[in-house]
Chain A
Amino acid sequence: MIDEETQEIFRQETEALIESLQECLLQLNSTPEDMELVTQVFRDLHTLKGTGAMFGFARLAEFIHDFEAAFEQVRSGNAVVTPDLIAVSLRAYDLIVALLEGEDPPAEQDAELKAALSAVTSGGAAPAAAGAEVAEVAEAEADGETEGWKLRYKLPPEFMEIGGNPVAILEELLEIGGPETKVEAILDGLPSLAELKPNELHTAWELTLPADADEEEIRDVFMFHEDSMELELTAIRAAAPAAAEVAEVSAEPVASADAPAAEAPKAEAKKPAAKKSGSANVQMRVSAERLDDIMDRVGELVIAEARLSDLAQKLNDPNLTEVVEDIRRLALGLRDTTMAIRLTPLSSITGRFQRLAHDLAGKTGKDFDFVIEGEETELDKTVIEKLSDPLVHILRNAVDHGLEDNDTRVANGKPARGTVRLKASYSGADVLISVQDDGKGLDPDFILGRAIDRGLVSADANLSRGEIFQLLMAPGFSTAEQVTDLSGRGVGTDVVKSTVEALRGSVEIESELGAGSSFTLRLPLTLAIIDGLLLQVGEERYTVPLAAVEGIVEEPEAIRDGQEPTTTVELREKLISIMRLREIFETGGERAEFPKVVLVRTGDQQIGLAVDRIIGSYQTVIKQLSPMHSRLNVFSGATILGDGDVALIVDVAQLVKAQGLDHDGKEQAA
């Protein structure tokens, strides 16, 4: 009955919940007093329990019930958050994850963890709020020999006001009783005509039902109202008028405040619905294909809008201009919203890194602070998912190989406590994600020596520092000696590199011996629409991402007549490599009288693109190239201009690489 899509939504929902749960638990470790976190943990558990039970995870629901109870103790002030509680909770979290993944861990684990949870929250018996259920089950079981049933009931006066239907109730009873049922309306509770409100119900009914009517079925008719109505159900006995057999429920209307009052603080505390949970809750699953469709249409809209703007400018009609302005605003708004759909903040996966850091600290015995910066940096969701494993690997390496143990640190005059920083930020058209540690740093001589030993480079290779560090990621560099329990499993460093390169990104490694290392993943923003700068080369037009452009200068006369694809020139007191697009692209056509150089940033380099003319900045809708052209890495796509022509989008980083101007590209460019 539950279709696949619902299952998938359930999966995503629980993923977000357990991510939030883990994050809160880890944060509680450092700020145990934070009651808001406790409440959030409680809420997450509660939702997990309820939803899990709905989807058939009975063992999960049962286990979480006790987990939740432990946190209820904390919430109500009977227990406090201790490192022990967090440790047990994290193990309980692991069990939840295993159960959600359909694993079947030994059942003793549940019991052991439940006991541990209960023990660390003041060893008291975890209270199970079972009272209500008991009350529900409390139904007198009347036995045999019945000749029939006498039923007298009066529904609450507001019954119709709250959407009840007295006729439906009667019909249901008649169905249970069959044609032998006798019905009589009792009108003595009726107020005077003046006081009578049309929506209030004052009629009582008396029914006689045959013996074969099922008592439970009769009671079920009133299941929602038993405690707010008058209900007498009496078995008509063949023999003596046995008053004792009367099973009577005649409860006060629910308004009597004493029962709920005892539990009131609980309901109260549940209420502060933390806004935060928004991240965990509202998720909608849309197929990537449909998203691409929307993106295409928005792209076309943006193009059509550009043509409309052109036209309006020519016609110069103020009324038209006004409407065009509106459409422009709407189109751009729509574009931004649509693009944002694909984006997810890095924070959606940082929870697992925090957990990893916590575990690593425990296993290595190294004390360190794990700092996350720029969690709000957004990337395409598919990219973020692919980055998780590489980042885990780098993080492990940073703690395992980067950080020294505390004594060594002190001996070297460093603070005993190390720091590992996960940092995300935007840089031009790229996103940077780096893992930095203040550990012992990388020794270039050692790395080079090993690479030569392993035959990865020749002994007389003349490599820069950066190139030597890149060797760390060469396949076959890692050695058995390096494989420890921590970093030895999972992906290798060479996989980090290939994963990132598959996303058109690169890995930069910097390190200072004794001071620490940093691994930076540089990834292009994979957006479907970018702001582009349109350039003219000969008769052809090309687009570069505006975010990468740092300046435009007149082409220095010194190089104006050159014919080589690349050259170097001093600009603004810096030596800059220039790529002549006319020569690289073999465009031909007439040269402009005053050619320009566009300064673009790629990686940590500034590069000049020599072009004939700057046309201007445009909304650029990126169209993927077909397999026929996509293997030409130097173009990241094409776009349709306002006049309907197609222009290619230059991938500056790839062009730099193809021309051999990047730092570590000397060999492959040859």
Chain B
Amino acid sequence: MSKEILIIDDSPSVRRMVAMTLQQEGYEVTQCEDGAEGLDTAKAKRFDMVITDQNMPNMTGIEFIQAYRNDPSSSGVPIIFLSTESEGDLKSQAKAAGALGWVMKPFEQAKLLAVVKKVVG
């Protein structure tokens, strides 16, 4: 069974790029465009991994992580945080909120894939 990954990013192009990269490797990808939608989706169904951007309308990535980790269903679900380099301080906030790791933007598709493989196999 292929692993299911949730990607939350308000940028359609980045979202699509991530989705296509992962789909090519056989992952199943669900896309959400902000934290609020992501939270509903993640709570409704257990994913093998969640990738979230930080800067989004309605609910930021860190707010999403906090809210999701408050829900028992998130137990054991790895979250990878997407961050741009000027937001270095946010990495630690994301970790404190319960992210497993992060990927810095801009990232190469190969890099993202390596991280995903490392986390979900």
Direct contact of A and B (CB under 8 A): yes
Hey, which bits of chain A sit against chain B, CB under 8 A? 1-3, 5-7, 9-10, 12-13, 43, 46-47, 49-51, 53-55, 61, 65, 68, 128-129, 131-133, 135-136, 158, 160-165, 168, 172, 199, 223-225, 227-228, 254-255, 259-260, 262-263, 266-267, 270-271, 273-275, 277-278, 281-284
In the complex, how many angstroms separate the beta carbon of B71 from the nearest chain A beta carbon? 12
Q: Do B16 and A263 have beta carbons less than 8 Å apart?
A: no
Q: A50-B106, A224-B101, A260-B89 are in contact. Are A281 and B118 (CB under 8 A)?
A: no
In the complex, how many angstroms separate the beta carbon of A255 from the nearest chain B beta carbon? 6
Task: Kindly list 8 other residue pairs between chains A and B, CB separation below 8 angstroms, not including A254-B95, A263-B89.
Answer: A12-B12, A53-B84, A161-B75, A162-B69, A162-B98, A163-B78, A163-B100, A270-B60
Q: Does B2 reach chain A (CB closer than 8 Å)?
A: no
User: In the bound complex, how far is the Cα of B89 from the Cα of A61, in angstroms?
Assistant: 19
User: In the bound complex, how far is the Cα of B49 from the Cα of A282, in angstroms?
Assistant: 23
Residue ID in chain A nearest B53 by CB atoms:
A50
Q: Mark B65-77, 1 if CB is under 8 A from A, else 0.
A: 0000100000111
User: In the bound complex, how far is the Cα of B10 from the Cα of A274, in angstroms?
Assistant: 13
Q: Do A160 and B76 have beta carbons less than 8 Å apart?
A: yes
Q: Do B14 and A271 have beta carbons less than 8 Å apart?
A: no
What residues on B are CB-neighbors of A160 within 8 Å?
Answer: 76
User: In the bound complex, how far is the Cα of B59 from the Cα of A223, in angstroms?
Assistant: 27
What residues on A are CB-neighbors of B116 within 8 Å?
Answer: none
What are 12 A-B contacts defined by CB distance under 8 Å? A13-B12, A47-B10, A50-B105, A54-B106, A54-B107, A128-B86, A132-B85, A160-B76, A162-B78, A162-B99, A227-B92, A273-B56
Range for the number of chain B residues in contact with chain A: 35 or more
Q: Do A163 and B119 have beta carbons less than 8 Å apart?
A: yes
Q: Do A281 and B105 have beta carbons less than 8 Å apart?
A: no
User: In the bound complex, how far is the Cα of B8 from the Cα of A357, in angstroms?
Assistant: 39
Hey, which bits of chain B sit against chain A, CB under 8 A? 10-14, 16-17, 20-21, 33-34, 49, 55-60, 62-63, 69, 75-79, 84-93, 95-96, 98-102, 105-107, 109, 118-119, 121
In the complex, how many angstroms separate the beta carbon of B97 from the nearest chain A beta carbon? 10
Q: Do A13 and B55 have beta carbons less than 8 Å apart?
A: no
What residues on B are CB-neighbors of A281 within 8 Å?
Answer: 10-12, 33, 57
What residues on A are CB-neighbors of B10 within 8 Å?
Answer: 47, 277, 281-282
Q: Do B88 and A168 have beta carbons less than 8 Å apart?
A: no
Q: A50-B84, A54-B105 are in contact. Are A284 and B60 (CB under 8 A)?
A: no
What residues on B are CB-neighbors of A2 within 8 Å?
Answer: 17
Residue ID in chain B nearest A1 by CB atoms:
B109
User: In the bound complex, how far is the Cα of B87 from the Cα of A55, in angstroms?
Assistant: 19
Q: Do B57 and A129 have beta carbons less than 8 Å apart?
A: no
Of A10, A162, A228, A266, which one neighbours B13 at CB under 8 angstroms?
A10
Q: Do B89 and A163 have beta carbons less than 8 Å apart?
A: no
User: In the bound complex, how far is the Cα of B121 from the Cα of A165, in angstroms?
Assistant: 10
User: In the bound complex, how far is the Cα of B72 from the Cα of A199, in angstroms?
Assistant: 12
Q: Do A47 and B11 have beta carbons less than 8 Å apart?
A: yes
Of A12, A54, A267, A278, which one neighbours B57 at CB under 8 angstroms?
A278
Residue ID in chain B nearest A263 by CB atoms:
B89
Of A9, A68, A224, A283, which one neighbours B102 at CB under 8 angstroms?
A224
Q: Do B86 and A129 have beta carbons less than 8 Å apart?
A: yes
Q: Do B49 and A47 have beta carbons less than 8 Å apart?
A: no
What residues on A are CB-neighbors of B102 within 8 Å?
Answer: 224
What residues on B are CB-neighbors of A271 within 8 Å?
Answer: 60, 63
Residue ID in chain B nearest A285 by CB atoms:
B12
What residues on A are CB-neighbors of B121 within 8 Å?
Answer: 165, 168
What residues on B are CB-neighbors of A163 within 8 Å?
Answer: 49, 76-79, 100, 119
User: In the bound complex, how far is the Cα of B34 from the Cα of A274, in angstroms?
Assistant: 13
7 pairs of A and B residues whose beta carbons are closest in the complex: A132-B88, A163-B78, A224-B101, A53-B106, A10-B13, A273-B57, A263-B89
In the complex, how many angstroms separate the beta carbon of B2 from the nearest chain A beta carbon? 18
Q: Do B106 and A284 have beta carbons less than 8 Å apart?
A: no
User: In the bound complex, how far is the Cα of B99 from the Cα of A381, in angstroms?
Assistant: 41
User: In the bound complex, how far is the Cα of B60 from the Cα of A267, in angstroms?
Assistant: 10
In the complex, how many angstroms separate the beta carbon of A567 from the nearest chain B beta carbon? 58
Q: Do B100 and A277 have beta carbons less than 8 Å apart?
A: no
User: In the bound complex, how far is the Cα of B92 from the Cα of A259, in angstroms?
Assistant: 9
Q: Do A13 and B92 have beta carbons less than 8 Å apart?
A: no
User: In the bound complex, how far is the Cα of B57 from the Cα of A49, in angstroms?
Assistant: 17
User: In the bound complex, how far is the Cα of B57 from the Cα of A446, in angstroms?
Assistant: 56
Of A53, A224, A262, which one neighbours B100 at CB under 8 angstroms?
A224
Q: Do A43 and B89 have beta carbons less than 8 Å apart?
A: no
Q: Do A50 and B55 have beta carbons less than 8 Å apart?
A: yes
User: In the bound complex, how far is the Cα of B107 from the Cα of A5, in angstroms?
Assistant: 19
User: In the bound complex, how far is the Cα of B95 from the Cα of A162, in angstroms?
Assistant: 9
User: In the bound complex, how far is the Cα of B87 from the Cα of A5, in angstroms?
Assistant: 29
User: In the bound complex, how far is the Cα of B103 from the Cα of A495, in angstroms?
Assistant: 51
Q: Do A6 and B78 have beta carbons less than 8 Å apart?
A: no
What residues on B are CB-neighbors of A162 within 8 Å?
Answer: 69, 78-79, 98-100
In the complex, how many angstroms separate the beta carbon of A450 from the nearest chain B beta carbon? 51
Residue ID in chain B nearest A275 by CB atoms:
B57
In the complex, how many angstroms separate the beta carbon of B18 from the nearest chain A beta carbon? 9
Q: Do B89 and A129 have beta carbons less than 8 Å apart?
A: yes
In the complex, how many angstroms separate the beta carbon of A229 from the nearest chain B beta carbon? 11
User: In the bound complex, how far is the Cα of B49 from the Cα of A464, in angstroms?
Assistant: 73
User: In the bound complex, how far is the Cα of B13 from the Cα of A270, in angstroms?
Assistant: 22
Task: Give the interface centre of A54, A163, A260, A275 by most chain B CB atoms within 10 Å.
Answer: A163
Q: Do A133 and B17 have beta carbons less than 8 Å apart?
A: no
Of A3, A54, A282, which one neighbours B20 at CB under 8 angstroms?
A3
Residue ID in chain B nearest A69 by CB atoms:
B86
Residue ID in chain A nearest B90 by CB atoms:
A267
User: In the bound complex, how far is the Cα of B109 from the Cα of A55, in angstroms?
Assistant: 11
User: In the bound complex, how far is the Cα of B58 from the Cα of A160, in angstroms?
Assistant: 29
Q: Do B106 and A259 have beta carbons less than 8 Å apart?
A: no
What residues on A are CB-neighbors of B107 within 8 Å?
Answer: 54
What residues on B are CB-neighbors of A278 within 8 Å?
Answer: 57
What residues on B are CB-neighbors of A68 within 8 Å?
Answer: 86
What residues on A are CB-neighbors of B79 within 8 Å?
Answer: 162-163
In the complex, how many angstroms separate the beta carbon of A118 from the nearest chain B beta carbon? 16
Q: Do A13 and B78 have beta carbons less than 8 Å apart?
A: no
Q: Do A164 and B78 have beta carbons less than 8 Å apart?
A: yes
